[in-house]
Each structure stands twice: as structure tokens, then as C-alpha cells.
Structure 1
Amino acid sequence: MTMKQATIRSGQGIGTITIEQAHVREPGSGEALIRITAATLNYRDLIVAKGLIPGLGKQPQVVPLSCSAAVVEAVGHGVTRVSPGDRVTPIFAPFWLTGSAPDPRMLGGPIDGVARQYAVFDTESLCKLPDPMSDLEGATLPCAALTAWSALTAFRPTQSGEWVLAHGTGGVAIAALQLAKAIGAKVAITSSSDAKLARAASLGADLCINYKKQPDWASAVRKEIGGSGVANVIDTVGAVQFDDNSSLLMPRGQLSAIGMLGSDFSWNRTDSSVRLAPVGVGSREQHEAMTAFMVQHRVRPVIDVVYDLDRLADAYRHLEGGSFFGKIGVNLL
């Protein structure tokens, strides 16, 4: 049996994406063959495509994307975790099952990802997708949603009534908004688009700041939230905002260093007065806890637009352009 899959030459740009036919292998002992139905993109996929972090993508090429939903087609000998017909999501780091130490073997980077119609995975890396979530919604969970969940719960658990600040309206920021509101926190969000801020407000954002209209956005946030300070900054922009983000933190508040949308990561900044938490997505255990929480609180992930696999390069360009809200999906049916 053959399938359609995408590959990209790591670090060589979006233009090297190709769609090709590939062989589908049978699952071995402890493995499952899954039929992937939906996937989503993350900014990390651009990092691999453009080589923004040297060595992150498998050479010379890799099957891209890390986040998907699928149906189990067949299982190998000794499998009890899943059965044919189960809806599942492969976790972002297939060998990081529990504990706080990240595993560097991640889908769509060091190892082949999910931009393909079939894949074989060790069943320990598969999590069941609950019925209330669609396949596209499930495909948002492994990276963006879990990163937000880890930022809010893994280091300094966010409490009801506290303020969370999220920058932008991409996958991590919108997941953080939705999860923080479900926890009972208050959320401030920044964007350069009034239309996107209006959508964020419809999801429960308590404070929306257009940083183009208010360049001193930190002062605007400080004025609006009063003297309580921010408990957790979801830092998707990077070190360029380190000082402003840090100035807003309440005592023992947390700067969750996640992204590099505007500069280098904040991970390497050293300031003993700042509680800096480098967020490296999360484990299977965290993924399952997050999914149960989302179902309990009826959190429905946001997918802005969906492309067919044949148009994956267009999906990347849409991601690069930044005009999306929440997540960009890929249909693999």
C-alpha cells in the first residue's frame, strides 16, 4: 500500500516542500498503524523549514509537522493501549511519557512528523482522543495547547483570579487564553489587529491591547490591571520583550519563555529577580491531564483555516504571513 506524504529539505525553505508517494509499512510488536486525518501547523515548523535553529530538522529532509489526529488501522503483537478504530493523537515528543526532563526526539524536526496519510508509531506515544473533540481540534493539542498548559500548570500553577498576559493571537496564545479562563484567571492579550482582539474578547479576554496603537503596551497593561501584577506571562515573542514582561510580574510571578516570534528566546536571559520558566512543550502524562481538563471545561480549540495536504506550501506561507487567528489546519483525508 502507498500513501501521500510531504517532505521538506530542512533549513532550505518553504519552496523545498514536495508531495510524493511513499510505502506504508505494517506495524511491528508494540506498534500501531494509524491513518492520519488532520494536522496543524506551528511556528516551529517555520523554524525547521528556514533553519532558524541550526540542526533542529533531520537532514537532508524530514516529513514535517508535529501535531495530528488519526484513527488506528491495525496493531502489532502485544498491543493493549489502543485498538483498531480508536481515535488518537500522537504526542509531540514520542519518548517523553512522564517526568519533567524533555526528550529531544520530537516529531517534524529530529524525527519524521505527521504530514502524511499513514504512520506507524509505538503505541505508548498515542493518546486517545475523546469524543467531544473533532479530529481538527485534536490536532491542535500536541504542541500549541500542551505548551500553553505546561506554562500555566507545570512550574507555578496559575490560580483563579490571577492575571495572565499572552502576546499575539497564534496557537499558543489563544490556547493559553482559553485554558487560563477555564482555570478562572483573568487574561490580558496583545495584538496589532483590532479584529483579532475582538475575537479574543469573544473568547473571554478581559483586557485587549493593540500594541501598534499603544506602543507602551506594558504601561497600558499596568494601568488597567492595577497594582496586582501579572502572575504569568506567556512569552511567545522572546528576549526583545524581556524587560517589559518582567516589569509587569507580581512577586513570584512567572515569565514562561516559549517562543521567538520577534527575537531570540528568553531562555538564556539571566536575572535573579525574575522567575523564568523555559517551557519545552510537555509529556504524555501532561497531555492526558490537559485533554481531560479541556473536556471537563468544554474548551474547544480554535482553527482558523484548513488546507489540503497538496497545498501545504500555501499553509506555510499563511503561517509566515501572520494573518491567522488560533491554528492553521491541514486536511489529510
Structure 2
Amino acid sequence: MKAWLLKDFGLENLQLAEVETPTPGPGELLVKVGAVSLNFRDKAIVDGFYEPHQVPKPLIPVSDASGTVVAVGEGVSRFTVGERVNSHLYSRWLDGEPAADEPDWCLGMPLPGGLAEYMIIHQNSAVKAPDTMSDEEASTLPIAALTAWYSLMDIGNLQPGQTVLVQGTGGVSVFAAQIAHAYGARVIATSSSDANLDRIKQLGADEGINYKTTPDWHNAVLALTDGKGVDITIDVAGGNGINQSVAATKVAGTIAQVGFLTGQTSQLDLMPVIFRQTTIRGIAVAPRSSFDRMNPFLTEHNIKPVIEQVYDFRDAVKAFEHLSRGAFGKIVIRIAD
């Protein structure tokens, strides 16, 4: 089969090659990949600043895929040949709290990912792809949509009428705005682009704040919430911006720390966290059980993934370059013809 191999760190070392098609072992599915979507995690792995000590070389990267089961190993009972499935990042995190070693069993690093014509997914971690979505659409769900869902519903315990803050207009934030809006929450979005703020308002955001023209954006959030702050903040930026997230979130509110776009370290001002009794929860996607709950909600509310561009399999490098420039919603690579 054809597969993209990361032979060393750096996008110039991501190369298309011929490799042996894997054979499904006990409990495993062989999936003909229809499409994959890119996340910041994938870029960080290729660039060498995401747990580089865990990256095997060569590696078939990219965790998020949708495709069709074409063969099954011994003992498979959850899926049959011909069914469409989603991958799930954590191949062993099925329910409850994560185990300490969950990162050791992630697709796309250190386990082989989906940037290939075929991939192996264990039946226990596979999720039925929504019938209402194409492979391109379904491929956007495993990290971006699920992170938003888990942050809002399972960790934030979102209630109708509450207020949610989403940062930027990437995949997680766009899904969070769509899900929160569908659930009856008010959504405030930040972005450096007025055009993107207009677009995310069309998807359910109620207000938008340009953080370039309003660098003290937390004050604007407070003004929009009568000084109270939001109930849940989806922080994708990381870095020292966490202090503004604390200021923008209500007393005893929740910050879902899902990203590190502006840095993996921060200088956190503890006194506001203490006095405001803020919960800062690190989010590394979610268990499969949350994925199983999310997909029917997306179908019920007719939530469609927002895809900025779909690239052909041979143009995977161009897709990564696009991701580096930023995107509204998701970047997808179509694998199957």
C-alpha cells in the first residue's frame, strides 16, 4: 500500500512510500481509509516538539481517520466488513478516567496512523461513523469535535443558558461553538480576524471579540457578561494567555485547557486562580464512551463539520503547509478515490 512516512523531524522528511499492507490480528479491523483530518498535534509531531522521545521512525502519522472495514481479525464482534468507522486517538481509553500510560497507545504516534491507504484499528476503540456524514466530514470528529464535546459536556457540565468562550476559529473552537449553540448556550468567540468572527457567528456564536484590536479581550468578555465572566472557557492558546482566561471565566468556573498554540509553558498568576476558585482542567481528548454519546447528538442537531479545504492524498505536504498557515475549521486529506 501507499503510505506517508515521517523518516525524521521536519516536513521535508515526510515522504510517500510503498509499505506492506497490515494484516489484522485478534480483535483488529483492517480499514480502507477514506479520509483523514489534520490537527495541531499532527503538525507538532512532524515538527518534533510533541513528545519527540516517543516518536518512532519511520512513522505513519495522523490520528484522525474515517473509512470502511475490509477485513477483520479473529474474535471481532463489534463490526463487520463493509461498515464505516472512525478511528479514536486513544486505542485503549474506553471509559472513565484515563490510565497513566494512555499516551503510549495513541494512533498517529507512537502507533501507526491513518495517512495511508489502509490502517489497523482495534474493534474496541473504533466508533461507528455517522451515516449522515461523508468520510471527509467524519474524519474531523476524533480529536476536534470530541475534545469540544468532552470539554463542554463531560467536564464543564454545560447547561442551557450558560455562556461559553471559545478562542480562535480552528477545529476545536468551531465545533465547540456549534455544540454549545445547539445545546442552548450563549457563545462568545475571539479571533484576530473580523471576517472569521463573522463566519463563526453564522455557526452559532453570539458575540465576537478581535483580540488584536482589543488586546485586553478579557475585559470585553466581562463587559458582555455584566462583570461575571463565562461559565466555561475553551483555551486553545496556552502560554501566558491562561491568565486572561482566568480573568474572563466566572468565579468557580471551568477552563478546559486543550491547546498550546502560543506555548507549552506559562507563567500563571496564582492569586486570581485562588480567589476566583477557578478549575483549570487539562483536556487530552476523551474516552471512546464520550465519542459514542457525541455522534448521535451531532446527527440529531444536524451539526456538520466545517472543512476549509480537502487535499488529495498525493498533496499531503501541501495540507500540512495549509495547517501551518491556519484554517477556519478543518483541513482534510482524501485518501480513497
Structure 1 residue 56 displacement after superposition: 5.8
Aligned match of 1:246: 246
Alignment pair present for 1:37 and 2:34: yes
**Which deviations, in whole Å up to 9, do the C-alpha atoms of 1:236-279 show, x marking residues without a partner?**
00032111111121122101111111122569886443211110
Alignment pair present for 1:58 and 2:55: yes
Structure 1 residue 216 displacement after superposition: 1.7
Q: Secondary structure at the match of 2:305?
A: coil
Aligned match of 1:325: 328
Structure 1 residue 163 displacement after superposition: 0.9
**Which deviations, in whole Å up to 9, do the C-alpha atoms of 1:262-309 show, x marking residues without a partner?**
122569886443211110101110111111111121111111101112
Match for 1:310 among 302, 310, 314? 314
Are the aligned partners of 1:9 and 1:49 in contact in 2 as well (CA < 8 Å)?
no
Alignment partners' CA distance in 1, 2:6 and 2:214 = 39
Alignment pair present for 1:87 and 2:84: yes
Are the aligned partners of 1:57 and 1:110 in contact in 2 as well (CA < 8 Å)?
yes
**Which deviations, in whole Å up to 9, do the C-alpha atoms of 1:77-105 show, x marking residues without a partner?**
22110011101001111111111115112
Aligned match of 1:262: 262
Are the aligned partners of 2:7 and 2:15 in contact in 1 as well (CA < 8 Å)?
no
User: CA RMSD of the aligned region, Å?
Assistant: 1.7
Alignment partners' CA distance in 1, 2:284 and 2:215 = 30
Alignment partners' CA distance in 2, 1:267 and 1:279 = 19
**Which deviations, in whole Å up to 9, do the C-alpha atoms of 1:163-207 show, x marking residues without a partner?**
111111001110111111111111111111111111101101101
Opposite residue 89 of structure 1, the aligned amino acid is N
Opposite residue 292 of structure 1, the aligned amino acid is P
Alignment partners' CA distance in 1, 2:215 and 2:267 = 24
Opposite residue 290 of structure 1, the aligned amino acid is M
Q: Secondary structure at the match of 2:315?
A: helix
Alignment partners' CA distance in 1, 2:330 and 2:296 = 21
Alignment pair present for 1:151 and 2:151: yes
Opposite residue 68 of structure 2, the aligned amino acid is V
Structure 1 residue 29 displacement after superposition: 2.4
Cα distance change on mapping 1:139 and 1:61 into 2, 3 Å: same
Match for 1:4 among 2, 5, 15? 2
Alignment partners' CA distance in 1, 2:189 and 2:267 = 21
Structure 1 residue 156 displacement after superposition: 2.8
Aligned match of 1:164: 164
**Which deviations, in whole Å up to 9, do the C-alpha atoms of 1:83-128 show, x marking residues without a partner?**
1110100111111111111511211122111101111222112111
Aligned match of 1:204: 204
Structure 2: 5+ residue stretches without partners = none
Alignment pair present for 1:186 and 2:196: no
Are the aligned partners of 1:39 and 1:115 in contact in 2 as well (CA < 8 Å)?
yes
Aligned match of 2:283: 279
Alignment partners' CA distance in 1, 2:40 and 2:81 = 32
Aligned match of 1:139: 139
Are the aligned partners of 1:257 and 1:266 in contact in 2 as well (CA < 8 Å)?
no
**Which deviations, in whole Å up to 9, do the C-alpha atoms of 1:35-63 show, x marking residues without a partner?**
00000000011111111234365222311
Aligned match of 1:75: 72
Opposite residue 100 of structure 1, the aligned amino acid is E
Cα distance change on mapping 1:282 and 1:268 into 2, 3 Å: farther
Are the aligned partners of 2:256 and 2:283 in contact in 1 as well (CA < 8 Å)?
yes
Q: Secondary structure at the match of 2:155?
A: coil
Alignment partners' CA distance in 1, 2:165 and 2:188 = 5
Alignment partners' CA distance in 2, 1:15 and 1:206 = 41
Opposite residue 205 of structure 2, the aligned amino acid is A
Alignment partners' CA distance in 1, 2:314 and 2:53 = 24
Cα distance change on mapping 1:269 and 1:244 into 2, 3 Å: closer
Are the aligned partners of 1:6 and 1:17 in contact in 2 as well (CA < 8 Å)?
yes
Alignment pair present for 1:118 and 2:118: yes
Are the aligned partners of 1:267 and 1:276 in contact in 2 as well (CA < 8 Å)?
no
Q: Secondary structure at the match of 2:19?
A: strand
Are the aligned partners of 1:48 and 1:56 in contact in 2 as well (CA < 8 Å)?
no
Opposite residue 321 of structure 2, the aligned amino acid is R
Are the aligned partners of 1:168 and 1:189 in contact in 2 as well (CA < 8 Å)?
yes
